Amino acid sequence: MKTAVSFCDLAHEGHSCNSVPLGVSMVASYSLEKFAGEINLEIFKYPTEYISYLEKEVPRIACFSNYIWNLNLSYEIARSIKGRSPGTVLVFGGPNYPLDPEEQEAFLSAHPAMDFHVFRNGEIPFSLLFEALRQYDFDVEKLKADKVVIPGCHYLSNGEFIMGEEVAAMRELDEIPSPYLTGLCDKFLANEKLVPLMLTARGCPFKCTFCQEGDDYFNVVRKFSFDRVREELDYVASRARNPDLIYADSNFGMYKRDADICREIVRVQEAHGWPKYFVGIMGKNNKARVLEAAEIIRSGVFGGGSVWLSSAIQSTDESVLEKVKRSNINADTMVKVANESEAHAGNQFSELILALPGDSLKAHFKSVCDLIDTGVNVVRSHQYIMLGGSEAATPEGQAEYSPLTKFRVTPHTMNTYELFSETIFAPEIDEICVGNDTLTFEEYEECRMFDLTVEVFYNNALLLELFKLLKARGIRISTLITRIHERVTSAASPVAELYEGFRRETNELFDSPEQLHDFLRREGVAEQYQAGKLGNNEQLMYSALMVFRYMRDVHDIAYDVARELFQENGAYEDWVAGYLSELIEFSLLRKQDMLATDQVETRHFHYDFIALEQCGFNEGPRDHACPGGVNIHFAHDDVQKELISGYCKAYGISNSGLGNIFGMGKNVRSFYRRIETVPHTDVVPAELT
């Protein structure tokens, strides 16, 4: 009889972790080949689907991924399985696991239903574990009582920590059968909500302390064969229903063969019309290759809007970079990539992390402004989460800079589920850094507010047309953004209520997990989280609200501040007032209510904005003045309508759903209405002042 094995990479319903479960699928495909004819396995992503399976059959072995977004959910379901079927072997594996042996023992003690935790990559350790269990006829308690040492596997035996030696990283990755080519992931590809997640290599040569791949174990990069990568692209392209593709490589684009892989992506785009959107060019060094990779994707049928070029800067402050061991990455190269990428890719994405060791209010503001002035069109600041499995989360790592950490509910993890007549309520908890010996909590809070301003008023080149006019007159865009920040955080701001809501939600923090759990037990609190009144990803949600619902206010504030700067710099010439009046209307007709695909407008202007758009607004507006006027038609095309409809179906248009659309790497500019000239008719003229 075959042994029933389930592999789960569970995600809370509504959580933004919406990719094909590649990691557990690779462990499953390796196991299926190695134990052909011996196991009957199934892979699960959604808790409800897995619960339906469990109600019919409890597997002999139940395997779960361990990430910061699903540990508690997976463990509570596993604990319930153990209560129903004590002989079922519960196996966990994943990066959300301590590096320090004492902390590993404490982790297992805190999760007594967990039979084993696999350390590092899971394919070989799980196969060794399966062989050991088979020798014991899957009597897990007898195996543990005998204290069998299994390489790559950790467990407790009557309170004693049994730690198998670390299994070396696999050298030939093609030994892992492709979970795509074997059909294991077909049901996930058929789900339009799940983004295909693919991998061309494992490992990262850099040693960043805040990252789980900064450890020596991951510092040798190993690659899947080019033929396999190409075959997977063809296979997935012919089956995927989600329009996107993500490569999970830590540094895709940095290596020589990555350009050839990008050509394969373009080839499948031409053959299958997929992917419409690609995320994954994240090489941290070798500027020329990174830009070449982006240019190749840009040359495809979907153009520059189909690719994000990502630069994970984290900080431009040298002392911060040194403290997190990021000095081995050429920061100057990364900034140059951001600066030069506008000509190579439609979207440039730079990431910062707030409150890293050595960070300060001055350093964070400077990092943001430095990146803005490179011209990169998305500068996104993330919370510094203390990741299990990273050097910074170890006792030694934390002792070096005295972090102030707080605890919060991970957004969209407050669902309840029913299993074996038991209610499963298992919100995930993040430990985030909100200060250190160089950053007070009050300064952290001010940095968060500034990040919201940047997210709304700068990112996605939302005000590109205005930016280009300012730059042409020598006015820094970072000056505009900092001045806007002063305006929007004032009491008279039309969006002051939104900023106060953001401030309130960003402070939903607790001093300990126990304090947070006590709060969650209060009557009505869980319901407030479930209703979206508490526990949202506040930065993305409030950014989305302003972009999708308050676009007129965003424009009015930005253009008013811009007029002030023009006047202060002696650049407010006679024609500028009239041009700005038409420009703001042109911009709003493209962007206001941009998810409403039924809105169609035609307006009369005295500047040829289509010609200005074609040159990226890099030419002087007066060179495109039209004394007789030009009529411009604004409407979404059929491709946009399909794209927007797909995203709205996948994420919904609630406040949190809009946040997911805004923050999942989507190119908001691809939602702007298309423009074209039309013959002179009775159209509404743009208002002139």
* Domain end point (choices 163, 187, 219): 163
The torsion angles phi and psi of 20, rounded to 5 degrees, stand at -60, 135
Does the CA dihedral 577-580-584-585 come out positive or negative? positive
Q: Do 146 and 202 belong to one domain?
A: no
* Domain end point (choices 325, 354, 384): 384
Residue 670 lies in a domain: yes
- Distance of alpha carbon 426 from alpha carbon 86, whole angstroms: 21
Q: Do 158 and 202 belong to one domain?
A: no
Among 352-366, 396-410, 505-519, 669-683, the minimum mean pLDDT is found in 669-683
Q: Do 16 and 64 belong to one domain?
A: yes
Do 268 and 296 contact (CB within 8 A), yes or no?
A: no
* Mean pLDDT to the nearest integer, 69-89: 97
Q: Do 136 and 201 belong to one domain?
A: no
- Judge whether residue 464 has pLDDT over 50: yes
Predicted pLDDT at 688: 41
Among 169-183, 289-303, 555-569, the minimum mean pLDDT is found in 289-303
- Distance of alpha carbon 306 from alpha carbon 300, whole angstroms: 8
* Residue 620 Cα distances to 235, 295, 551, 632, angstroms: 48, 27, 26, 19
Residue 152 lies in a domain: yes
Q: Do 126 and 228 belong to one domain?
A: no
More confident residue, 351 or 92: 92
Among 100-114, 230-244, 512-526, 548-562, the minimum mean pLDDT is found in 512-526
Q: Do 262 and 325 belong to one domain?
A: yes
Among 344-348, 356-360, 540-544, 617-621, the minimum mean pLDDT is found in 344-348
Tokens at residue 152, please?
């790559």
| Predicted TM-score (pTM) above 0.95 | no
Does the CA dihedral 195-196-199-200 come out positive or negative? negative
- Residues with Cβ within 8 Å of residue 118, at least 6 apart in sequence: 91, 92, 93, 125, 126, 129, 152, 153, 154
- What tens digit of pLDDT does each residue of 537-553 get? 788 889 889 999 999 99
Residue 657 lies in a domain: yes
Do 477 and 601 contact (CB within 8 A), yes or no?
A: no
* Residue 11 Cα distances to 18, 53, 413, 426, angstroms: 8, 16, 8, 12
Residue 154 lies in a domain: yes
Q: Do 132 and 246 belong to one domain?
A: no
- What tens digit of pLDDT does each residue of 626-680 get? 988 999 999 999 989 988 888 888 778 888 778 777 765 456 888 999 999 988 6
- What tens digit of pLDDT does each residue of 397-412 get? 888 788 999 999 988 8
CATH (domain of 120): 3.40.50.280
Total number of domains in the chain: 3
Domain extent for 592: 575-685
Residue 34 lies in a domain: yes
Indicate the residue type of 11. Answer: A
Q: Which residues pair with 92 in a beta bridge?
A: 64, 117
Could you give the angle at which helices 331-340 and 361-374 cross, rounded to 10 degrees? Answer: 40
* Domain end point (choices 384, 410, 427): 384
- Residues with Cβ within 8 Å of residue 353, at least 6 apart in sequence: 210, 314, 315, 381, 382, 383, 384
Residue 586 lies in a domain: yes
Q: Do 242 and 287 belong to one domain?
A: yes
Question: Read out DSSP for 177-191?
Answer: --TTTTTTTHHHHT-
Indicate the residue type of 227. Answer: D
273, 276, 280, 283: CA torsion to nearest 10:
90
Tokens at residue 533, please?
């009144």
